[in-house]
Amino acid sequence: MNEPVRQLEVRVGSATDALTPLSRVSRSFAATQRQWLALAAIALAAIVVDQVTKHVIAGNLRLGEGVHVVGPFTIRHVENSGIAFGLFSNATAAVIVVTAIAIGWMLAYFARSGARHPVLPVALGLVIGGSVSNLADRVRLGFVTDFLDFRYWPAFNVADSCIVIGVGILLAALLLTEREPRSQGLEASPAKPVTAGRKPSRLRREDDSAPPKL
């Protein structure tokens, strides 16, 4: 008579045969729908603000014209064919290709690891939004409009600011993540008290073997 086939129970922390233990359970860090929506909202906000400010500057100030605000800060209409802060201004085609590759890499990274840290939608949203806005201007016009001029620093725009802020948030989050496990490890392993070189069990056996005193 054949015995009924036993159905194996698969538990968390074990292999598919329910027998081989696993050292740790694998966790997916893929971005969720909510994180994608947060990334898209932040990127879209960065694009809208950047494009609106560029349109206002181009419509009210002639090229090279500026309005002094306070101290070294001046709003000046400048055209830049390079990347942030006027770098690589003579390599527009190369800048477009590199920027497009960087945006694609960031999207692929977020799809794979968007749930690793709660600030990733904010940080990458700012970087991607700023990059897309400047890339659209380079493809459409061949240059971007810069207008934030601090005299001792090359002029830049809102998109450049979003990129720098996003990278700063990302680096700060990575540094804090690296420091947290060490502090938690120190708190989780308190120092054990060191006992003297006595051996109570041995002394106890010696006392038991001694004859009783009359």
146 flagged as catalytic: yes
* CA separation, residue 159 to residues 26, 46, 89 (Å): 38, 7, 17
Q: Which of 50, 137, 149, 160 is catalytic?
A: 160
Q: Which of 50, 137, 146, 149 is catalytic?
A: 146
160 flagged as catalytic: yes
Question: Burial letters for 14-30: b for 16+ Cβ neighbours within 10 Å, e otherwise?
Answer: eeeeeeeeeeeeeeeee
Using DSSP's 3-state secondary structure scheme, residue 198 falls into coil
The residue ranges of DSSP E strands in 7-110, in sequence order, are: 66-70, 73-80
Cβ(31)–Cβ(128) under 8 Å?
Answer: no
| Positions marked active-site | 146, 160
